[in-house]
Amino acid sequence: MKRRIFQIIGLILPNSYFKVIATKVIYRGQLKGICAPLFNCYACPLATISCPIGTLQHFMAIAKVPYYLIGYLGLIGLAVGRMACGWICPFGFFQDLMAKIKTKKFRFPSYLGYLKYVALVLLAIIVPFLTHEHWFSKLCPWGALEASIPWGLWNPSDPGFLSLTPANAPIRDLLGGSYYLKLGILAGFLGLMLFFKRPFCFLACPLGAIFSLFNRISIIRLGVDTEACTKCNKCLRNCPAGLKVYENPNSINCIRCLECTKCDKVKLYSIFGKQPMTRDKKSEADF
Amino acid sequence: MKKKIIITIVLFLFFGFILAYGLTKGDFFTTALNGGTL
């Protein structure tokens, strides 16, 4: 319940520019200089802040090093790993709600979790650098749901996007092939959400890929009492990412939602504090 | 354990320095001019 409250705040706070209803122009003021550590589209009509992945692509497209973004995401990742994914990400929240649809849920093989690094390196770094265009954003399913569909339905003229020309034409006249492609990708992920928990976070989220690099070295980590654990899979049943926590408590796919800590064999601990349980041996060895 | 804490502090300083450097270079304003993609 506490996590739901944070997720609702994570959805509403970055999307509270209600003035757009009167102006029909996207907010492009100084607050858009702030990247929230969550997946929220810059182009959403209500957006007040920037998406870190949109920012990363923007810097790549103009061939500049995003020092601010690296430092900012590095500090957050070092403190809490992927916790933002589990607690405040609006797309994660949406996928959690979709997972409530009663269908049989399957698990991805763990190696598919590395696909998100391909999405990060290829679509958010290399291709924008080479083509000077925001290719991940052009394909982003959350961008489709939060921005493309609302703007397409609303269809105002000149809503303030730098990337749309001629600027004074109705949006619908300017939407090209990539618009329909991203709608198709959204449809694909919506289909996956019926049978898998958080498929986008597991397979394709570049922000999750960045934070996941810190899961094993962050200040707070998960530990499993391996001697007491009976592998009853209570953690798997509670996990919104569909993970067997006892196999690898600080896996790259763990979103640190802490639902698994409902089992008393799984505990959150800090490297500065007393460690209450047997530590995650794999993580210790890697660190 | 001490080693882990020292590495964490060093990494914190490293990322903190990069963040501060980015802000002095005007990254904040570059971010705001993203433009948006549909």
Three-point CA angle A28, A38, A252, nearest 5°: 150
Query: Same domain, yes or no, for A111 and A91?
Result: yes
**Cα A3 versus chain centre, distance:** 16
Q: A53 and A38 in contact (C-beta within 8 Å)?
A: no
Number of C-beta neighbours around residue A78 at 10 A: 20
Residue at which a domain ends, from A211, A243, A265: A211
**CA of A62: which chain B residue's CA is closest?**
B30
Query: Same domain, yes or no, for A114 and A240?
Result: no
Selected for mutation to probe chain B from A40, A60, A67 (highest B CB count within 10 Å) is A67
* Distance separating alpha carbons of residues A249 and A277, to the nearest angstrom: 12
Domain count, chain A: 2
Which of A35, A71, A171 has the CB atom closest to B18's CB atom? A71
Half-sphere exposure of A261 (CA within 13 A, CB side): 14
| Closest-CA distance of chain B to residue A232, Å | 31
* Of A109, A262, A81, A73, residue with least CA distance to A199: A109
**CA of B11: which chain A residue's CA is closest?**
A78
Which structural domain range is residue A86 located in? Answer: 2-211
* Distance separating alpha carbons of residues A231 and A246, to the nearest angstrom: 7
Residue at which a domain ends, from A211, A238, A271: A211
Considering the entire predicted model, what is its pTM? 0.92
By the CB < 8 Å criterion, does A271 face chain B?
yes
Query: Same domain, yes or no, for A87 and A33?
Result: yes
Please enumerate in sequence order all residues whose Cβ is within 8 A of that of A107, keeping only pairs 6 or more positions apart, or say none.
A196, A242
Q: Could you give the angle at which helices B2-24 and A67-80 cross, rounded to 10 degrees?
A: 150
Examine the predicted complex and report whether its ipTM is higher than 0.85: yes
Subunit contact B36:A62, Cβ cutoff 8 A: no
Q: Which two tokens stand for residue B16?
A: 């903190």
* Of A226, A238, A160, A181, residue with least CA distance to A3: A238
Query: Same domain, yes or no, for A188 and A140?
Result: yes
Residue at which a domain ends, from A211, A232, A266: A211
Query: Same domain, yes or no, for A243 and A170?
Result: no
Q: How many CB pairs under 8 A join A and B?
A: 126
Q: Give the pLDDT of chain A (287 residues) as one tens digit per residue.
A: 799 999 999 999 999 999 999 999 999 889 999 999 999 999 999 999 999 999 999 999 999 999 999 999 999 999 999 999 999 999 999 999 999 999 999 999 999 999 999 999 999 999 999 999 999 999 999 999 999 999 999 998 888 887 777 777 888 888 888 899 999 999 999 999 999 999 999 999 999 999 999 999 999 999 999 889 999 999 999 999 999 999 999 999 999 999 999 999 999 999 887 665 544 445 444 43
Query: Same domain, yes or no, for A51 and A177?
Result: yes
Name chain B contacts of A179, Cβ cutoff 8 Å. 38
What is the dihedral angle through the alpha carbons of A179, A180, A181, A187, rounded to the nearest 10 degrees? Answer: 120
Sign of the torsion angle spanned by Cα atoms A285, A259, A195, B38: negative
